[in-house]
């Protein structure tokens, strides 16, 4: 039978990590949320406060519930505070050396049966697992942006992940109100492997001036029934994150479909990171805002 996890941790409180911490706390789990610096921690906390505050403003959450959710998250800058966690989800930037270094540290801090989960979008979970002395307890738990809204969690198993660990994570996903799909350790897993070729193609069409950003987005929303057009979605995902995902998939498969369109790298270099920086393919009222100006 699956373990009922109660004490969990999240490392990295960017867009995804903050959303994941919120989802876990909403489901009643006790969450330790860790960031590298006081400033990054304050931004992560503000993200959760904003997201839950918005739910209160929309009448979807009682103020007392919001306070209870925030009360279940302990914000910290010390990885050592994860010493009691039964499961830790890492959501630090998509750089292998950053993640392997973090997993090696967590391996020393957490008890031997703690599950180490990664929210990586495209890096090899197997490679991450061997940075620890417990590869069988390492698994992918890939959420989608915005994490509090999107229903899917991809559970990524390696050739050595213990079946009981998969069961525990699947049971947790169900408690979070998510639907899980399970997949082997392949770059991009299911959703990103299919999604990012399409996004990259849309960017190339825009870069080559075949169509305006508004027309590209309207075509896919109104013609194909998608909730967002591809360029608006690139802005939501983050242009830097999208670049890293495409680049990793391209390096693994050498499939030109995933060779990042040149403008993506240029936008990253220029700091046009999408909604989070206030400007990407569109310009927003403020960093983090969804309002296009
Ligand atoms: N955080 C928390 N909640 C949010 C949110 C956010 N950033 N954005 C929207 N929401 C909530 C709203 O509060 C609202 O909740 P309610 O129904 O309980 O009141 C609900 O979502 C709908 O929001 P809105 O009415 O403001 O806006 P929309 O109806 O246009 O929905 C959307 C917004 C959910 C973002 C929708 O446009 C959508 O589903 N877009 C596609 C998103 C997508 O494809 N995500 C996957 C990206 S790929 C990925 O994440 C993989 C990774 O590896 C990169």
Nearest CA to ligand 1 atom 37: 227
Ligand 1 pocket check: which of 146, 177, 239, 287 to mutate, most ligand atoms within 8 Å of Cβ?
Answer: 146
Q: Is 142 a catalytic residue?
A: yes
Does one domain contain both 49 and 167? yes
The tally of domains found in the chain comes to 2
User: Is 192 part of the annotated catalytic residue set?
Assistant: yes
226 and 165 co-located in one domain:
no
Looking at the structure, do residues 149 and 248 belong to the same domain, yes or no?
Answer: no
Let me know whether 169 and 256 are in one domain: no
Q: What's the CA-to-centroid distance between 146 and ligand 1, angstroms?
A: 5
Please determine, for the modelled complex, whether the ipTM score is greater than 0.90. Answer: yes
Q: Quote the domain boundaries for residue 208.
A: 191-277
Q: What is the pLDDT of residues 133-183, one digit of tens each?
A: 999 999 999 999 999 999 999 999 999 999 999 999 999 999 999 999 999
Look at residue 216 in the predicted model and tell me its pLDDT. 98
Indicate which CATH number applies to the domain containing 270: 1.10.1040.10
Q: Are residues 95 and 43 in the same domain?
A: yes
Q: Judge whether 287 lies within some domain.
A: no
Sheet with 138-142: strands ordered across? 73-76, 30-34, 7-11, 87-90, 115-118, 138-142, 152-157, 179-184
User: Does a structural domain hold residue 285?
Assistant: no
Catalytic residue among 35, 90, 94, 154: 154
pLDDT in tens, 37-83: 999 999 999 999 999 999 999 999 999 999 999 999 999 999 999 99
Same domain for 258 and 152: no
- 38 and 178 in a single domain? The answer is yes
Query: What average pLDDT does the segment 237-266 reach?
Result: 94
pLDDT level of residue 8 (50, 70, 90 thresholds):
very high
pLDDT at residue 232, as a whole number: 98
E-state strands within the chain: 7-11, 30-34, 73-76, 87-90, 115-118, 138-142, 152-157, 179-184
286 within domain boundaries: no
Chain-centroid distance, C-alpha 194? 17
Q: What is the pLDDT of residues 80-130, one digit of tens each?
A: 999 999 999 999 998 899 999 999 999 999 999 999 999 999 899 999 999
Residue 25 shares a structural domain with residue 153: yes
Residues 179 and 152: beta-carbon distance below 8 Å? yes
Q: Which of 94, 142, 200, 277 is catalytic?
A: 142
Give yes or no: 201 in active site: no
Q: Of the residues 119, 121, 124, 200, which is catalytic?
A: 121
- Cis peptide leading into 146, omega within 30 of 0? yes
Statement to judge: residues 202 and 176 lie in one domain: no
- What is the pLDDT of the chain when averaged over all its residues? 96
Query: What pLDDT is stored for residue 51 in this prediction?
Result: 95
pLDDT value at 226 more than 90: yes
């Amino acid at each position: 039978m699956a373990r009922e996890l109660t004490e969990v941790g999240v490392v990295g409180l960017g867009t995804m990590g903050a959303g994941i911490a919120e989802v876990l706390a909403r489901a009643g789990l006790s969450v330790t949320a860790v960031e590298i610096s006081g400033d990054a921690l304050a931004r992560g906390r503000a993200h959760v406060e904003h997201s839950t505050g918005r739910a209160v403003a929309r009448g979807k959450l009682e103020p007392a519930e919001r306070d209870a959710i925030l009360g279940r998250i302990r914000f910290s800058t010390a990885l050592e505070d994860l010493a009691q966690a039964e499961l830790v989800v890492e959501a630090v930037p998509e750089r292998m050396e950053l993640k392997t270094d973090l997993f090696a540290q967590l391996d020393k801090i957490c008890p031997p049966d703690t599950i180490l989960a990664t929210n990586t979008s495209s890096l090899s979970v197997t490679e991450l697992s061997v940075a620890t002395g417990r590869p069988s307890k390492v698994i992918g738990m890939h959420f989608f942006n915005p994490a509090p809204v999107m229903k899917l969690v991809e559970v990524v198993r390696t050739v050595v992940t213990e079946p009981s660990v998969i069961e525990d994570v699947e049971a947790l996903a169900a408690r979070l109100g998510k639907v899980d799909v399970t997949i082997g350790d392949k770059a991009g897993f299911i959703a990103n492997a299919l999604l990012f070729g399409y996004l990259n193609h849309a960017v190339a069409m825009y870069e080559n001036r075949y169509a305006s950003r508004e027309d590209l987005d309207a075509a896919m929303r109104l013609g194909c029934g998608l909730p967002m057009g591809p360029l608006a979605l690139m802005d939501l995902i983050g242009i830097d994150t999208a670049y890293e995902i495409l680049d990793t998939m391209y390096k693994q498969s050498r499939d030109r479909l995933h060779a990042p369109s040149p403008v993506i790298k240029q936008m990253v270099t220029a700091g046009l990171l999408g909604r989070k920086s206030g400007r990407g393919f569109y310009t927003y009222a403020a960093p983090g805002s969804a309002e296009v100006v």
